[in-house]
Amino acid sequence: MADDHTGDIETGDTESADQSVQSLLGVEQEDVLLIDIGGRELLIRASDVSEIIRPMPVTQVPMGPEHMLGLANVRGQIVCMIDASKVMDLPAISAVSTTHTRFLLLRHAKMHVGIWVDKVLALYRVNSDQIPEASHVDASEPSCGSMQIDDKRYDIFNHAGLFQ
């Protein structure tokens, strides 16, 4: 099933000498993905993503909500595919799938849900304490804070807003 995975994600080397020392001292680290939704670059915790797959056919649901792209059959599991830009204040996703388009299947205790992303750009390893917690964030807000990686500040995708 290697065809389902993204393959060529750039891995950013964010581990400086200080971070190497912190790793040795037991500072927790976490992976974050840099994604593109409608031209806006956002970070999402890799632990919030169960799988990254190439787009597949989705079956539209008659009279379904506007943000629902449809249902996808992922190896026998029915997954509700969501257009995050219609739930949150994000730019519209590309209307046409490209070679870079991916479905991110998100981890959730009760639902099987995925989002359309225009690109998965990179994977970074960061100190866990750099990632702000999503508490006290309006569910309609697309980000739950921001963090700096390689001299650029990125918003962190508030995927919890999809489940409200």
143 in Cβ contact with 158 (< 8 Å): yes
**76: containing domain:** 2-163
Digit-coded pLDDT (tens) for 106-149:
988 788 999 999 999 999 998 887 777 655 555 556 567 778 88
Q: How far is residue 122's CA from residue 8's CA, in Å, rounded to a whole number? A: 9
Digit-coded pLDDT (tens) for 13-33:
544 555 555 555 677 899 999
CATH number at residue 54: 2.40.50.180
Whether pTM exceeds 0.85? no
As for how many domains the chain has, the answer is: 1
